[in-house]
Amino acid sequence: MKIFVIHNYYQQLGGEDRVFASETSLLEAKGHQVVRYTIHNDAVADLNPIQLAGATVWNQEIYRELRQLLRQEKPQLVHFHNSFPLISPSAYHAARAEGLPVVQTLHNYRLLCPSAVFFRQGQVCEDCLGNFVPWSGVVHACYRENRAATGMVSAMLTLHRVLKTWTETVDLYIALSEFSRQKFIQGGLPADKILVKPNFVYPNLEPSTGSGEYALFVGRLSPEKGVDTLLAAWEKLQGKYPLKIVGDGPLKEQVIQATTRIPEIEWLGWKSNEEVYELMGAATMLIFPSEWYETFGRVVVEAFAKGTPVLAADIGGIAELVASGRTGLRFRPGDPEDLARQVEWCLNHPTKLAQMRCNARTEFETKYTAEQNYQMLISIYRESIRIRNHQTLTKIFDGLTKIPF
Per-residue b/e over 37-67, b at no fewer than 16 CB within 10 Å? Answer: bebeeeeeeeeeeeebbbbbbbbeebbeebb
Backbone φ and ψ for 337, nearest 5 degrees, come out as: -65, -40
Burial of 292 (0-12, 13-18, 19+ CB in 10 A): buried
Structural domain that includes position 302:
215-363
User: What local confidence, expressed as pLDDT, does residue 394 receive?
Assistant: 76
- 98 band by pLDDT with thresholds 50, 70 and 90: very high
Using alpha carbons, select from 312, 296, 313 the residue that is nearest to residue 367.
296
Q: Are 95 and 62 in contact (CB under 8 A)?
A: no
For residue 21, the domain's CATH number is 3.40.50.2000
Q: Is 171 found in the same domain as 306?
A: no
Q: Is 190 found in the same domain as 321?
A: no
Using alpha carbons, select from 113, 107, 146 the residue that is nearest to residue 131.
113
Say how many domains are in the chain: 2
User: What local confidence, expressed as pLDDT, does residue 26 receive?
Assistant: 98
Burial of 298 (0-12, 13-18, 19+ CB in 10 A): buried
Q: Is 375 found in the same domain as 359?
A: no
Output the CA–CA distances (angstroms, integers) from residue 370 to 1, 27, 95, 153, 330, in the order listed: 18, 10, 28, 34, 26
List CB contacts of 231: < 8 A, sequence separation 6 or more.
Answer: 254, 255, 258, 262, 265
CA dihedral 74, 76, 80, 81 (to 10 degrees): -110
133 lies in some domain: no
126 lies in some domain: no
Q: Is 266 found in the same domain as 170?
A: no
pLDDT in tens, 14-53: 889 999 999 999 999 999 999 999 999 888 888 999 999 9
Q: Is 195 found in the same domain as 69?
A: yes
Q: Provide mean pLDDT across the span 215-228.
A: 97
User: What local confidence, expressed as pLDDT, does residue 12 receive?
Assistant: 77
One-letter amino acid at 82 equals: N
31 lies in some domain: yes
Answer whether residue 399 shows pLDDT above 70.
no
Q: Is 346 found in the same domain as 379?
A: no
User: What local confidence, expressed as pLDDT, does residue 404 receive?
Assistant: 66
145 lies in some domain: no
User: What local confidence, expressed as pLDDT, does residue 160 receive?
Assistant: 98
Q: Is 276 found in the same domain as 387?
A: no
Q: Is 273 found in the same domain as 193?
A: no
User: What local confidence, expressed as pLDDT, does residue 341 receive?
Assistant: 98
376 lies in some domain: yes
297 lies in some domain: yes
Answer whether residue 74 shows pLDDT above 80.
yes
Output the CA–CA distances (angstroms, integers) from residue 130 to 107, 111, 135, 403, in the order listed: 18, 10, 12, 42
pLDDT in tens, 146-182: 999 999 999 999 999 999 999 999 999 999 999 999 9
pLDDT in tens, 99-145: 999 999 999 999 999 999 999 999 999 999 999 999 999 999 999 99
One-letter amino acid at 288 equals: F
Across the strands, what pairs with 194? 173
Sheet hosting strand 310-313, strand order edge to edge? 265-269, 243-246, 215-218, 285-288, 310-313, 328-331
Distance between CA atoms of residues 144 and 155, nearest Å: 16
Answer whether residue 13 shows pLDDT above 90.
no
Distance between CA atoms of residues 81 and 185, nearest Å: 19
- 393 band by pLDDT with thresholds 50, 70 and 90: confident
Using alpha carbons, select from 271, 237, 255 the residue that is nearest to residue 342.
237
Backbone φ and ψ for 56, nearest 5 degrees, come out as: -70, -40
pLDDT in tens, 60-69: 999 999 999 9
Largest separation between any pair of C-alpha atoms in the chain: 87
Q: Is 222 found in the same domain as 195?
A: no
Peptide bond into 203 cis (omega under 30): yes
List CB contacts of 11: < 8 A, sequence separation 6 or more.
Answer: 40, 41, 42, 44
| Other Cβ atoms closer than 10 A to 366 | 10
Q: What percent of the chain has pLDDT over 70?
A: 98
The per-residue DSSP string of 24-89 comes to HHHHHHTT-EEEEEEEEGGGGGGS-HHHHHHHHH--HHHHHHHHHHHHHH--SEEEEEE-TTTT-T
User: What local confidence, expressed as pLDDT, does residue 282 receive?
Assistant: 98
Q: Is 349 found in the same domain as 239?
A: yes
pLDDT in tens, 294-309: 999 999 999 999 999 9
List CB contacts of 37: < 8 A, sequence separation 6 or more.
Answer: 4, 5, 6, 7, 66, 69
User: What local confidence, expressed as pLDDT, does residue 197 receive?
Assistant: 98
User: What local confidence, expressed as pLDDT, does residue 403 receive?
Assistant: 65
pLDDT in tens, 234-274: 999 999 999 999 999 999 999 999 999 999 999 999 999 99
Question: What is this structure's pTM?
Answer: 0.94
62 lies in some domain: yes
Q: Provide mean pLDDT across the span 370-378.
A: 97
List CB contacts of 93: < 8 A, sequence separation 6 or more.
Answer: 63, 163, 165, 169
User: What local confidence, expressed as pLDDT, does residue 400 receive?
Assistant: 60
Three-state DSSP at 352 gives helix
Answer whether residue 5 shows pLDDT above 80.
yes
Q: How far is CA 226 from the centre of its chain?
A: 17
Q: What percent of the chain has pLDDT over 90?
A: 92
Distance between CA atoms of residues 61 and 39, nearest Å: 13
Q: Is 378 found in the same domain as 257?
A: no
- 277 band by pLDDT with thresholds 50, 70 and 90: very high
- 381 band by pLDDT with thresholds 50, 70 and 90: very high
Answer whether residue 396 shows pLDDT above 80.
no
Average pLDDT, the chain: 95
User: What local confidence, expressed as pLDDT, does residue 184 receive?
Assistant: 98
81 lies in some domain: yes
Q: Is 196 found in the same domain as 96?
A: yes
